[in-house]
């Protein structure tokens, strides 16, 4: 069986396009969250983040 035939639903072009648009937006939002929390950590702790006992 060809992979395409395993799909239960054939998406229309409009649906594929919309799904791609949602996927890209979600990806960007997640990437933004990573950057926000990374930079926030640096800003909040500053150089002191390396200056502590483990």
Partner 1 sequence: MALVDTRHIDASDVSVIEATAGDFVALLKPRVMSLVVFTAFVGLAIAPVWPNPFIAVISILAIAVGAGASGALNMWYDADIDRVMARTAGRPIPAGRVRAADALTFGMVLSVFSVITLGLVANWLAAAMLAFTIFFYVVVYTMWLKRSTPQNIVIGGAAGAFPPMIGWTAATGTIGLESVILFLIIFLWTPPHFWALALFSQTDYGKAGIPMLPNVAGEATTRRQIFGYALLVAIAGVLPWAFGFASIVYGAAALALGLGFVWYAYGVLASTDSRPAKALFGYSLLYLFAIFALVLADSIVLRSFA
Catalog residues that contact partner 1 under the rule CB under 8 A: 5-12, 14-15, 17-18, 21-22, 24-25, 33, 36-37, 39-40, 43-44
Minimum Å gap between C-beta 39 and partner 1 is: 6
- Measured from the CB atom, the residue of 8 and 53 that comes closer to partner 1 is 8
Token pair for 52: 């502590």
- Measured from the CB atom, the residue of 6 and 53 that comes closer to partner 1 is 6
Cα 41 to Cα 52: distance, rounded to the nearest angstrom: 15
**What sign does the dihedral 17-23-28-32 (CA atoms) show?**
positive
């Amino acid at each position: 069986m060809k992979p395409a035939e395993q799909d239960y639903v054939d998406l229309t072009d409009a649906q594929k396009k919309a799904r791609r648009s949602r996927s890209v937006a979600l990806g960007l939002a997640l990437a933004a969250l990573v950057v926000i929390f990374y930079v926030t950590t640096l800003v909040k702790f500053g150089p002191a983040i390396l200056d502590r006992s483990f």
